[in-house]
């Protein structure tokens, strides 16, 4: 079942979907995510906070997220630091995005053929 996420996740960027796709494919720690995205540490950390639905500072006040976390963080079992995994909501959003991309790529255009009789 596809869920309309457009209003629920209106604050997400294309780079956030890229982070979700990387986490879903097994890139599960911040240094590897920084290397894959070629973004600076602060930006990746900030986007991960937002994907975890944690509050963050904007113009001197804390902004709380209005949606369920898309990413969960836990202590990494094999390395120092944290491991990031998709939450059920994050996996569903990524599946919807992939479905959308696949449907756009497989859509066949039907030529317009006006056969009305006059």
Q: How many domains does the chain have?
A: 1
- Compute the distance between CA of residue 101 and CA of residue 61 in angstroms, rounded to an integer: 37
72 pLDDT band, cuts 50/70/90, is very high
Structure-block tokens of residue 3: 């869920």
CATH number, domain containing residue 73: 1.10.10.10
Instruction: Work out the burial of residue 32: count CB atoms within 10 Å of its CB; fewer than 13 is exposed, 13-18 middle, 19 or more buried.
Output: middle
Q: Is residue 49 part of a domain?
A: yes
Q: Specify the pTM.
A: 0.71
Q: For residue 85, what pLDDT is reported?
A: 94
Q: Is residue 78 part of a domain?
A: yes
- Residue-wise pLDDT for 25-69, tens only, equals 999 899 999 999 999 999 999 899 889 988 767 788 877 777 789
Q: For residue 3, what pLDDT is reported?
A: 42
More confident residue, 69 or 97: 69
Q: Structural domain of residue 23, as residue ranges?
A: 14-103
């Amino acid at each position: 079942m596809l869920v309309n996420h457009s209003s629920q996740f209106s604050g997400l960027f294309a780079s956030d979907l890229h982070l979700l796709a990387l986490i879903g494919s097994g890139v599960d720690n911040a240094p590897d995510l920084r290397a894959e995205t070629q973004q600076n540490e602060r930006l990746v950390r900030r986007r991960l906070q937002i994907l975890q639905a944690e509050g963050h500072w904007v113009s001197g006040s804390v902004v709380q997220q209005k949606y369920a976390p898309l990413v969960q963080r836990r202590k990494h079992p094999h390395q120092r630091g944290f491991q990031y995994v998709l939450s059920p909501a994050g996996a569903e959003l990524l599946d919807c995005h992939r479905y959308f991309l696949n449907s756009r790529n497989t859509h066949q255009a039907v030529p317009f053929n006006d056969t009305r009789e006059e």
